[in-house]
Structure 1
Amino acid sequence: MTLPRLRRAAVALAAMATAFCVVPHAEAQEQNAVIFGDSVIADPNAPQWLAGKLGLDPRGSSGVTTWCPQSPTNWGKQAAAKLGLIPQDYSCTGTTTISQGPQLATQVDRAIRDGALNGSTRRVIISTGFNDTYNNDARPDSDVRRDFVNYMKNEVAKIRGAAPGARIQFVGYPTITSGDRVCLFHIAPNTSDWTIFPRVQKWENQAQWMQVDAAQATGTEFLDLKPSTANNGMCATDDQRMWAGLVDFYAGAGNLPIHVNQRGHEHVANVIASS
């Protein structure tokens, strides 16, 4: 073999070695989890949310088309870390589907445009629907469930098209109510009101079945959080509560009233990671 040919062969072998040694490592580093949903999963604190709305954040004004404030320890990010995946979080306070408001579809479109949804995406987490219950309270439940399913069919198709290897999970909401009661005010240890508010129970159940329907219709997974949080809703004892009240001095760390607290986010992340 002549010297030029030897040189060309050496270059080719070096290129092959680089490909075999580097590409798999880079691929592993790029595996990610993409997160969609509303404030329950986004979990911003009030100052972060307000700064984003007023344009006082260094990133500028927040909005579903640009960026949204989120907790660094919400259940999507925690679950991704437990799974060894890079979290790319598009969840946003106020997110809706079949109602007026920041659209889940915009989150999905932005994730596709950013390249966050891709061949290396291993998990997609979707937590949404509650804001569409009370916003459609005057409509028949069956119509709301049907419209939500049709909306989500389109979004799941877009997700699958961009991330064909991803597991897509509709992650339900943890338990909120205790029957037809809510506990809004926790102003002394293990002491609260027990306010009759059947509408919240109705919305909670409706959101659950909307997500179940959507998962069945799209061939994706529904992760049911009700069994493991049955005794951890807004009326649970201080050391067990995962859903904070409106005024709640005893549920432990958390960001927003009437939302999941830190204990709840840790729990849901563990459920997702072990699923």
Structure 2
Amino acid sequence: MRTRAVIAATALLMIVAGCSSDPTTDSPRASGTSQTPTAAAPAPRPSSYVALGDSFTAGPGIDPLQAGSGYCGRSQDNWPTRVADSLDLTLTDVSCSGATTADLASTVRSGALSTGPGLVTVSAGGNDGGLFLSLIRSCTAGSDACGSFVKQQVPPILKQTTTDVVSLLDAVRSAAPDARVVLVGYPRLMPADGTCDAVGIAAGDVATVVSAEEALDTALASAAEQADVPYVSARDASTGHDACAGDQAWTNGASPGTGDGIFFHPNRRGMAAVASLVEAAAKG
């Protein structure tokens, strides 16, 4: 069981290492007065939408992929595409597998928001400091490595991540002052307790991974609060939909189904679920 997880983690490292670190390189796409007071006109509905994010947004491995997405691996069935379709928005998807918060900040500086979008979603932090990859690698190697990484390295990584995500959100609001900006978190990978063959990690180490997942969610919630933007946390909603949940799982374990996402990443069900959460937040 552990051998399969180690192989999966190694394959995931190869996938992400091969991804572009610059999401911009292969991105798509009354006069007069009245004596009678009138009701204020409703705010105009946004017509365009820019999605910034990493592989949990892009959806690598979920067939079919968007034309021209290259190593970013953007799926035609990822949650930004579903949100755009549901809300009738014109989408520019610049999410990219392997992207860090710094990469997304570079994307913003490159002019990705120059079209004046009405909605911008941001999902970042999982790749900062090699968080997700290091977490999976160390926690498939054994308790000592897992506990050491989470206790010693995760706190400083998340402290910096919080600062960087706040800066990114500030940059987004500066570049798109009229947009509704929403920060989106990550769905659960691990079950609340216990383990299963799908994740191939010892129960004690699963609990350690869960503590890191919770810490990341808390860090992102803090960043959203500091930047004064709404935060969509997927943790509560994904309870019972972790990689051990079988037909109800929103994320894959070590052995994903063909064409339905990569190791320890969202599958098609997860993309649909996160899209529903984001749609509600986008409507304000």
Q: Normalising by the residue count of structure 2, what TM-score does the alignment of the two structures yield?
A: 0.67
| Partner of residue 171, structure 2 | 158
Alpha-carbon contact 2:188-2:251 (below 8 Å) kept: yes
Q: For 1:2-21, list aligned pairs within 5 A.
A: none
Largest Rg, 1 or 2: 1
Contact 2:58–2:73 (Cα < 8 Å) also in 1: yes
Aligned to 1:95: 99
Contact 1:184 1:248 in 2 (8 A): no
CA contact (8 A) 1:184 1:234 kept: no
Change (3 A) 1:153 1:226: closer
Alignment partner for residue 264 of structure 1, among 248, 262, 270? 270
Tell me what 1:72 maps to. Answer: 76
Structure 2: runs of 5 or more not aligned = 1-43, 136-148
Q: Superposition RMSD on alpha carbons, in Å?
A: 3.1
Offset from partner CA, 1:36-89 (integer Å, 9 cap, x none): 11111111228999xxxxxxx9959x46xxxx3300110111112211111111
C-alpha separation between the residues in 2 aligned to 1:271 and 1:255? 20
**SS at the partner of 1:173?**
coil
Within 2, Cα distance between the matches of 1:273 and 1:258? Answer: 24
Aligned to 1:131: 127
Q: Aligned with 1:247: secondary structure?
A: coil
Contact 2:49 2:89 in 1 (8 A): yes
For 1:47 and 1:81, the matched residues in 2 are separated by 17
Give per-residue Cα distances to partners, 1:102-131, cap 9 Å, x unaligned.
Answer: x22222223x2x4x4443x12111112122
* Aligned 8 A contact 1:34 1:88 in 2: yes
Structure 2 Cα separation of the partners of residues 231 and 58 of structure 1: 34
After the TM superposition, which residues 219-238 of structure 1 pair with which residues of structure 2 at under 5 Å, given as runs?
A: 219-238=228-247
Q: Report the AA paired with residue 183 of structure 2.
A: F
In structure 2, the residue corresponding to 1:215 is in which secondary structure? helix
Counterpart check, 1:245 vs 2:249:
no
Q: What residue is the counterpart of 1:195 in the other structure?
A: 202
Displacement of 1:243 in angstroms is 0.9
Partner SS for 2:86: helix
The number of residue pairs the alignment matches comes to 219
CA separation of 1:139 and 1:166: change in aligned 2, threshold 3 A:
farther
User: Of 28, 32, 36, which aligns to 2:52?
Assistant: 36
- Structure 1 residues 47 and 225 mapped into 2: Cα distance closer, same or farther (>3 Å)? closer
Q: SS at the partner of 1:124? A: strand
Structure 1 position 256, deviation (Å): 1.5
Q: Which residue of 2 aligns with 1:108?
A: 108
2:231 counterpart SS class? strand
**CA deviations over 1:140-184 (Å, ceiling 9, x no partner):** 554333322221232222211221111111111112111354545
1:223-273 alpha-carbon deviations (Å, 9 max, x no partner): 1112221011111132x1111111145xx9612122111011111111111
Residue 179 of structure 1: which of 189, 192, 209 is its match? 192
Distance, in Å, in 1 between the alignment partners of 2:62 and 2:280 is: 31
Distance 1:90 1:202, change over 3 A: same
Identity %: 25
SS at match of 1:220: coil
Residue 37 (structure 2) aligns with: none
User: For 2:219, what is the secondary structure of its paired residue?
Assistant: helix
Structure 2 contact 63–77 (Cα < 8 Å) conserved: no
TM-score (norm 1): 0.69
Does the CA contact (< 8 Å) of 2:63 and 2:76 recur in 1? Answer: no
Match of 2:157 among 130, 144, 151: 144
Of structures 1 and 2, the one with the larger relative CO (CA 8 A, separation 6+) is 2
Q: Which residue of 1 aligns with 2:261?
A: 255
SS in 2 for 1:82: helix
